[in-house]
Structure 1
Amino acid sequence: MNDMRSAGEPDYTDADFQRVRRIAQDEAGIYFPDTKRTLVYSRVSRRVREAGHASFHSYLDFVQTVGGRGEMERLICALTTNVTNFFREKTHFMHLEEIVVPKLAAQVRAGGRGRLWSAACSTGQEPWSIAMSVMTAFPDAPAHDVRILATDINADVVAHAAAGIYPTVEAEAIPAEKKSQFMEPHGDGGLRFTGGIRNLPAFRVLNLNANWPMKGTFSAIFCRNVVIYFDEATRERLWHRLADRLDPGGFLCVGHSERVASKSQCGLEQIAPTIYRKES
């Protein structure tokens, strides 16, 4: 089957799918198997139309020009999925409050610094959940050198995350005491993070498969439900890079369908089904 176009829809051939697949791999490390051909069409065809092209071929020609760089970013964003909610995988946040943050607090009170990283922050529920856990276990964290780096490849979702504003229904997963402590009503039925907690997260656009500008290491990194989109080589390379950015004894939290390379490969020991610890 070469052309799966419906009436009024842009041309889409097997060659176009292969080309999108190569672009996704080269630009973001995303791997699409043959079974995702229709999914790619459904996600990209809207971008093709909105950019004013009659075919995938002409659209893909455009995104690979200097002038099409902005549209290339929108294409990559269209190919990625942003599914998240507050305190997703509660065991990670229990571990953060009970194990990670007390150690981090002692470190910064002694004059050090504390860094955590939400490596695929999407619309912000993960880094704001991390911030609430930090504030719960270390209430005066904003008065110290404590920061949560929150990054994502999608500039639009990073902007949404940085605003810290969510519909009430999205905040239902937040415990009532945390909601009353860290949020305030905003607009028509929304809630907004307020107070010192807003000083903790720093939101940045970052492609995990490109160069990383940050220099320091982290007490914990959340990189959950990301590598499921990568091929094996890209996945293993990322595990090594993340391990290099952990403090000795630091922790990496991953998604339930993800497994990190063996301890002998990257120095990460599994201490719970989805939590790994770097060798001290």
Structure 2
Amino acid sequence: MTPLDYEYLRKLLKERSGLDLSADKQYLVESRLLPLARRWNLAGIPELVQRMMKGGADALVAEVVEAMTTNETFFFRDKIPFDHLREAVLPALAQARAARRSLRIWCAASSTGQEPYSIAMCLKEASALFAGWRIEIVATDLSQAVLEKAKAGLFSQFEVQRGLPIHLLLKYFTQHGELWQLNADIRGMVQHRQLNLLHDLSHLGTFDVIFCRNVLIYFDQDTKTGIFAKLSRMLEPDGVLALGAAESVVGITNLFRPYPERRGLYQPNTVARAGAVHVLKAVASAAR
């Protein structure tokens, strides 16, 4: 792979997915795209790049983006955010939403489904708090391929052994040969939709909880700032944003403030958000 090939791929991935590859990630590109090139009967990455540059290769470009943005996931990843969800977030929301008796949760960059299904199991375990409620979990990802796998709810022995407590495996899964399938009631709690975080997100509506974990680390500062602005507008004033262990709003945006005594959780900074809304309205008015 030549430096020009790598620069073409870096620019393509940044424009299509927000993925910001540093100059030393050629090894990652080669490991993920060489198998793809072979499936397309291409000799290597230079030929892959040439094929895309000729135009009319939308399917190939989509596969390249999917190959580079499919990230690792597993059940109850990092454990602590799910402890926070069970111990603090859900009880607080059960009280705050008692009048309307509904709850909306968004899991962004949901990959093959382990995270939204972990959230669904948390809610199922807390069913006494939410009996008769309308619960909506929306799981989105850029890759249609991983969403299809998530919808099936079929996982290997290796996948269910990573982070999933044995009592939940036995309670919510059925074994089919060497695979384990989530029971229909858990699968039915999650809606799967294809979505690019760089695009307009307003059609999703507003949420009480947003999980956007282990995805922003791949974006540059300006892209992170833009995504945080979108997430702020989509979160209820008392809603909760969960970020990954290596992610933070510090130094990027003032639209969120830390959730009290719960590391990795944030809530809207209503003062800063009101100011941002005022600026957006002034800009829109001036444009007219």
TM-score (norm 1): 0.86
Aligned CA distance change for structure 1 residues 270 and 96 (closer, same or farther; 3 Å): closer
CA–CA distance in structure 2, aligned partners of residues 263 and 238 of structure 1? 11
CA–CA distance in structure 1, aligned partners of residues 53 and 103 of structure 2? 40
Which of 112, 115, 124 aligns to 2:113? It is 124
Per the alignment, residue 220 of structure 1 pairs with 209
Per the alignment, residue 49 of structure 1 pairs with 38
**Alignment partner of 1:275 is 2:260:** no
CA–CA distance in structure 1, aligned partners of residues 193 and 124 of structure 2? 21
**Alignment partner of 1:146 is 2:135:** yes
- Tell me the C-alpha RMSD between the 2 structures: 2.4
Partner-residue secondary structure (3-state), 1:84? coil
Per the alignment, residue 153 of structure 2 pairs with 164
Per the alignment, residue 104 of structure 2 pairs with 115
Deviation at 1:109, TM superposition (A): 5.1
> Which consecutive residues of structure 2, in runs of 5 or more, have no partner in the other structure?
271-288
Paired residues in the alignment total 268
Deviation at 1:176, TM superposition (A): 2.9
CA–CA distance in structure 1, aligned partners of residues 54 and 128 of structure 2? 49
Residues 170-228 of structure 1 deviation map (CA, whole Å, 9 limit, x = unaligned): 2233223322322222x213221114222211011111112226342111111111111
Aligned CA distance change for structure 1 residues 174 and 42 (closer, same or farther; 3 Å): closer
Matches within 5 A, 1:114-263: 114-138=103-127, 143-172=132-161, 173-185=163-175, 187-212=176-201, 214-261=203-250
**How much identity, in percent, do the aligned residues show?**
31
Runs of 4+ with >6 A deviation: none
Deviation at 1:141, TM superposition (A): 5.1
CA–CA distance in structure 1, aligned partners of residues 111 and 27 of structure 2? 24
CA–CA distance in structure 1, aligned partners of residues 159 and 45 of structure 2? 36
Residues 64-122 of structure 1 deviation map (CA, whole Å, 9 limit, x = unaligned): 67632122111011112421111112121111112222344446653343111110111
CA–CA distance in structure 2, aligned partners of residues 264 and 40 of structure 1? 31
TM-score (norm 2): 0.83
Per the alignment, residue 48 of structure 2 pairs with 59
Please identify, of 98-107 and 32-41, the stretch whose mean Cα deviation from structure 2 is larger.
98-107
Whether contact under 8 Å (2:136, 2:190) holds in the other structure is yes
Look up the equivalent residue of 2:170 and give its one-letter code.
S
CA–CA distance in structure 2, aligned partners of residues 264 and 213 of structure 1? 19
Deviation at 1:262, TM superposition (A): 5.1
Look up the equivalent residue of 1:180 and give its one-letter code.
L
Matches within 5 A, 1:6-85: 12-54=1-43, 56-63=45-52, 67-85=56-74
Aligned CA distance change for structure 1 residues 41 and 88 (closer, same or farther; 3 Å): same
Whether contact under 8 Å (1:269, 1:276) holds in the other structure is yes
CA–CA distance in structure 2, aligned partners of residues 279 and 58 of structure 1? 49
